[in-house]
Amino acid sequence: MTFHVLIGVAAAFWLVGMGACGFAFRWSWLSVPRRFWAAVILSVTALVLGCLGLTRFHVVASKTVNGQIQWRFDSRWFFIATVLFATLTLAYTLWKQRRSPHAA
């Protein structure tokens, strides 16, 4: 695979994970009881994508000129943010459901 394809794959995984977190957070923020399971599923999906990005789909690249590193790109930092955001979203969703008067 070329470098651009690898960057595209990593970016797609990151965007899908962050989008899932965004939808889950919005649905739990609105406190719609029927969207609870959808928010949990999206949060867990984002958490899994973040973990996969950290372990399987990360891209590390750098350019060295005369023994000096000119630039370095490591996509793990993006996936760390996804894992943190997904964890916080899942915790918020579960906390919001527990506090909700609709909870059974």
pLDDT of residue 53: 84
Q: What is the C-alpha separation between 98 and 76, in angstroms, rounded?
A: 33
66: domain range? 3-99
Q: How far apart are CA 93 and CA 31, in angstroms?
A: 9
In a domain, 104, yes or no: no
Q: Is residue 56 part of a domain?
A: yes
The C-alpha atoms of residue 63 and residue 96 are separated, in whole angstroms, by 46
Tell whether 74 is covered by a domain. Answer: yes
Structure tokens at 39: 């928010």
In-domain check, residue 70? yes
49-104 tens-digit pLDDT: 999 888 887 777 777 788 877 777 777 888 899 999 999 999 998 998 887 765 55
pLDDT at residue 1, rounded to an integer: 65
Report residue 88 CA to chain centroid gap: 11
Is 87 inside any structural domain? Answer: yes
pTM: 0.78
Number of domains in the chain: 1
Determine the pLDDT at residue 67. 80
pLDDT in tens, 8-63: 888 888 899 999 999 988 888 876 667 888 899 999 999 999 998 888 877 777 77
